[in-house]
Chains A and B, each alone.
Chain A
Amino acid sequence: MSTQSSRFEFDPGFEDDRLRVAWYAVVGVFVAVGAYATYLRITGGMATTNLTSIVPWGAWVAFYIYFVGLSAGAFLVSTMANVFEVEGMHRIDRDALFAAIISMAVALLFVWIDLGRMDRMYFPFIWRQLTSALSWEVHAYVAYIGILVTELYFSMRIDLARIAQRTSGLRQTFYAALALGRLDTSEGSQSFDQRWLKRAGIVGIPLAIFMVHGGTGVLFAVSKARPYWNSGLFPVIFVISALLSGTALVMVVYVLRTRLFDGDSVDPDLLDRLAQLLIGFIIVDAALTAIETFIAIASVHPHEIETWQVIMYGPMSWSFWWFMIGFSWVFPMVLLSKRSWRRTPAVMVLTGLSVVIGIIAVRFNIVVPAQVMPVMEGLPHGSYFPTLVEWGTSVGMIGVGLLLYTLGAETLPLTPLTGGDH
């Protein structure tokens, strides 16, 4: 045992205590704001939102699909390590999986607060509707979270066991419990874990692509009443932009956690690999969106044209030009263009954050404009901008996600104890 403990350093958590305090203070403010806003939301009901019967879906739904996208994207990045065994990616496997789990939890919080009857959130598991995409989605999300947790377990189990062997008392019980009592650290047990990790990943890939995120796109695309969403390309774009945001998130998390928690230096090759992935996804995302836009406009369907006019020239057009085009495509593309920048952690954190924030606007521009146009001539036009309660609750739920992530990062061996690749 003594040899092992000298071989593996396990000291998770912030390197700098002042930074830890500052970070928890920020997250605490987020959560407190959110708690108060949630209180207002629960006591005041849906009337505390700016939603109407014309624009029934708003910020919460936009954030919900945003976080589902982040999760699916981060998960798919993790499969590059554990299923496709891309060289050098193993280092970020657990980071990606853990971020995917937290994102999904946050997504479900957004679904929950969006329900007119929050107390009936479990009803979809009692009553179903075979033809409803939403009914399927709810089940897919649960299965997907199950897969994610299974994967994280098999990916991390051996390190949990190693830590349990080295610690004592409560901490030992804690890590042993997380390892579900399987404390064997032999080669054999490790290859068993890796086999099952791969299997779970193989099940997870179609689940994430077709059911979880593709399905969320389908949820919108099946709405024949809304021509803007009613396209076959729509779910595909959904998946691509998910990959884009997920990769960006993993990149940010990797750099920040390596620097601030592990106190290590970032592997420039790995960073470059992620950066190149990002370039690929930006190009595909932009190209598909352009095709979709072109088809929509070429169809000369009045509904489509007017929706695009709302997006490009309406009162919210700034979110399209600045956030969607600027932050998620152009700005990151510029930063990704130089090889030396791609190997500079600070620049890549900036790139990643830019994408992660830009995609929020993409989600808003998916959800809102299609509802502004009335479904029939003669019915009123809608308009929507979230209320403070909607913003506040959103900040709060994001804060809960950050808190959970930080707590996890401070206790779990998210960085493989043996270093990078196995």
Chain B
Amino acid sequence: MSTTDDNTLPGIPNVGKADLDAMVENERPDPREELADVEADTDLGIAMAEDAQRVARGELSGDEYWEKYDEAAGAEFGEAYQETPNPAVDAGDQTVSTETAESLSCAVGSMDTVATESAQVEGEEPDGGIGAGDEKWGMVIDLQKCVGCDSCTVACKSENRTPPGVSYNVVMEEEHGEFPNVTRTNVPRPCMQCDNPPCVQVCPVSATYKMDDGVVNIDYDRCIGCRYCIIACPYGARYFDFGENYDDEVDEAGEVTSPEYGVDRGPREEGKSPIGNIRKCSFCTHRLERGEEPACVETCVGDARNMGDLENPDSDVAQMANSSRAFQLKEDEGTDPNVYYLK
């Protein structure tokens, strides 16, 4: 409403809005050139695109649009068109009426259903599901490169949206020696994803268990919150979720949660898991599954953290973990962590 150019606020430079629009127009690829590269009919493409913009502006209804192009699209794209659900059909804001959608030659159903179906097909691959990968995930942290900035801790908190009092990663600072001969070591501590995890050993309901990819999972739907695993973990890596929130600091802090262990639990609500459960670092399983590194690894200022497949001898982490500089925390506990440190 008040976005005209004359409506400038004091102290804020006037960027000509019209200039900006022109810049966008300039950058916009020429539709004809773009479509020339693909096999489909260029004219049909341009016509559909222009009408689609009219639909968006409200000059044309969704129904009219689809009735107009149904036949042409069917002829042009054949099966690919007929078997794909109409993209305008969606649970939330559907732009085409159900009757029209049913009269069209393309399949009926929302894009969501297709996404779910194809996800299920992927899931049916051998031993599917979260954590079933062939890798054995391991982390190597180079203590010579760690500057103790705690960026990993912060990145982890925002990635996993952990509540107050829960911090999957901490950087332990140790001072050695006496003044003036003092040295300081920073030791970042995620969950070690132990090969012999005492936490798994003690859980009375098997709510915490080791996945094929080496990550120790917590089933928030099963954990009874007895906290025996906190007692058992030699690394202090486990935290109880007391149900606290950052509501005072951030509005609606609990609206978005992280899909830990591949489960999206929606907004954080009182009395709903993971409140009353145990939480810990999951190596960002949800990121690993989509081919990304854990947030702490990605963010590390000094490039001190590395993530990879320990069972692949050519991987960086496997080589680092085998180097003479490598060690594990509390080796004599027999837990055999999958987090290695370089001296």
Binding site for B on A (CB under 8 A): 45-47, 51-54, 56-57, 114-117, 120-121, 123-124, 126-129, 131-135, 138, 219, 222-226, 371, 374-379
B205 touches A57 (CB 8 A): no
Contact in complex: B189, A226 (CB < 8 Å) = no
Looking at the assembled complex, report how far the CB atom of A88 sits from the nearest CB atom of chain B, in whole angstroms.
Answer: 42
The answer to whether A47 touches B225, judged by C-beta atoms less than 8 angstroms apart, is: no
B240 near A117 with CB under 8 A, answer no
Contact B231 A124 (CB under 8 A): no
Q: Which residue of B is nearest A111, CB measured?
A: B226
How would residues 215 to 253 of chain B score, 1 for a CB under 8 Å from any chain A CB and 0 otherwise?
000000011111110111111101111111000000000
- Which residue in A47, A138, A219, A376 is a CB contact (below 8 Å) of B172? A376
Question: Are B204 and A128 within 8 A (Cβ)?
Answer: yes
Instruction: Check: B276 CB closer than 8 A to any chain A CB.
Output: yes
Structural contact, A375 and B224, CB atoms closer than 8 A:
no
Report yes or no: B276 in contact with A46, Cβ–Cβ below 8 A: yes
8 Å CB contacts to A: which residues of B303-343? 329-330, 333
Complexed CA–CA distance, A56 and B239 (Å): 9
Selected from A116, A138, A226, the residue in CB contact (under 8 A) with B277 is A116
Question: In this assembly, does B135 line the interface, its C-beta being within 8 Å of a C-beta of chain A?
Answer: no
Question: A124-B204, A129-B203 given as contacts; is B225 within 8 A of A46 (CB)?
Answer: yes
8 residue pairs A–B, Cβ–Cβ below 8 Å: A46-B225, A46-B240, A115-B226, A115-B276, A117-B224, A124-B204, A128-B204, A131-B202
The residue among A56, A133, A377 with the most chain B CB atoms within 10 A of its own CB is A56
Cα(A412)–Cα(B235), bound, Å: 52
Q: Which of B122-130, B267-275, B293-301 contacts A (4 or more CB under 8 A)?
A: B267-275
Interface of B is mostly: loop
- Interface presence of B206 (CB below 8 A): yes
Q: In the complex, how many angstroms separate the beta carbon of B206 from the nearest chain A beta carbon?
A: 5
- CB of B122 to closest CB in A, whole Å: 28
- With A124-B205, A132-B228 given, can you name 18 additional A-B contacts, CB distance below 8 Å? A45-B275, A53-B166, A56-B227, A116-B226, A117-B277, A120-B222, A120-B224, A126-B205, A128-B206, A129-B200, A129-B202, A131-B201, A223-B202, A225-B234, A225-B333, A376-B234, A376-B330, A378-B173
Residues of A within 8 Å of B238, CB to CB, are: 53
Contacts of A223 in B (CB 8 A): 198, 202, 231-232
Residue of A nearest to B187 (CB): A378
Check A45/B242 contact, CB under 8 A, given A53-B165, A225-B234. Answer: yes
Measured between beta carbons, the chain B residues less than 8 angstroms from A124 are 204-205, 224
Nearest opposing residue in chain A for B330, CB measure: A376
CB pair B225–A115 under 8 Å, yes or no, is: yes
CB distance from B205 to the nearest CB of A (A): 4
Contact B242 A47 (CB under 8 A): yes
Give the chain A neighbours of B187 by CB distance below 8 A.
378
The 3 closest A-B pairs by CB, nearest first: A116-B225, A378-B172, A116-B276
The answer to whether the Cβ of B170 comes within 8 Å of any Cβ in the partner chain is yes
Question: How far is A370 from B227 in the complex, measured between Cα atoms in Å?
Answer: 15
Q: Are A57 and B227 in contact (CB under 8 A)?
A: yes
Pick the residue among A45, A123, A222 that contacts B270 (CB under 8 A): A45
A193 to chain B, nearest CB (A): 36
A116 pairs with B201, CB closer than 8 A? no
Q: Are B271 and A45 in contact (CB under 8 A)?
A: yes
Is B48 interfacial (CB-CB < 8 Å)?
Answer: no
In-complex Cβ contact of A117 among B170, B225, B270 (8 A): B225
Which chain B residues have a beta carbon within 8 Å of chain A's beta carbons? 165-166, 170, 172-174, 187, 189, 198, 200-207, 222-228, 230-236, 238-244, 270-271, 273, 275-278, 329-330, 333
The CA-CA distance from A223 to B235 in the complex, in Å, is 12
Contact across chains for A376 and B204 when beta carbons are under 8 A apart: no
B174 touches A114 (CB 8 A): no
The reply to whether A46 and B231 contact each other, CB–CB distance below 8 Å, is no
The smallest C-beta distance from A374 to any residue of chain B, in angstroms, reads: 7
CA distance A134 to B226 in the complex (A): 9
Residues of B with C-beta under 8 A to A45:
242-243, 270-271, 275-276
Q: Indicate whether A114 sits within 8 Å of B226 (C-beta atoms), given known contacts A46-B243, A224-B333, A226-B231.
A: yes
Q: Shortest beta-carbon distance, A389 to chain B, in Å?
A: 13
The answer to whether B276 touches A129, judged by C-beta atoms less than 8 angstroms apart, is no
For B240, give the chain A residue with the smallest CB separation.
A53
B201 (CB) vs chain A CBs: closest residue: A131
Contact of A376 among B165, B206, B226, B236 (CB under 8 A): B236
Q: In the bound complex, how far is the Cα of B224 from the Cα of A371, in angstroms? A: 21
Q: A133-B202, A375-B235, A379-B236 are in contact. Are A123 and B224 (CB under 8 A)?
A: yes
Query: Would B240 and A116 count as touching, CB distance under 8 A?
Result: yes
A225's nearest neighbour on chain B, judged by CB, is B234
**With A45-B275, A47-B243, A376-B330 as given contacts, are A123 and B235 in contact (CB-CB < 8 Å)?**
no
**Distance (Å) between the CB of B236 and the closest chain A CB?**
5
How far does the Cβ of B334 sit from chain A's closest Cβ, in whole Å? Answer: 8
List chain B residues, Cβ under 8 A from A132: 201-204, 228
Do A225 and B233 have beta carbons less than 8 Å apart? yes
Residue from B170, B225, B226, B238 with most neighbouring chain A CB atoms (10 Å): B226
Interchain CA distance A224-B225 in the complex, whole Å = 21
A123 to B222, CA, bound (A): 7
Q: Measured between C-beta atoms, what is the minimum distance from A63 to chain B in Å?
A: 15
**A376 and B235: CB pair below 8 A?**
yes
B273 contacts which of A117, A127, A224 (Cβ < 8 Å)?
A: A117
Among A117, A219, A371: residue with most chain B CB under 10 A: A117
Inter-chain contact A117/B227, CB cutoff 8 Å: no
Hey, which chain A residues are within 8 Å of B206, CB to CB?
127-129
Residues of B within 8 A of A56 (CB): 227, 230-231, 240
Identity of the chain B residue whose Cβ is nearest the Cβ of A45 in the assembled complex: B243
CB pair B230–A53 under 8 Å, yes or no, is yes
Cross-chain contact A117 with B231 (CB below 8 angstroms): no
Q: With the chains together, A186 CA to B114 CA distance in Å?
A: 78
With A116-B276, A377-B172 known as contacts, the answer to whether A134 contacts B204 (CB < 8 A) is yes
Of the residues A135, A222, A225, A226, contact of B204 by C-beta under 8 Å:
A135
CB closest chain-B residue, reference A122 = B224
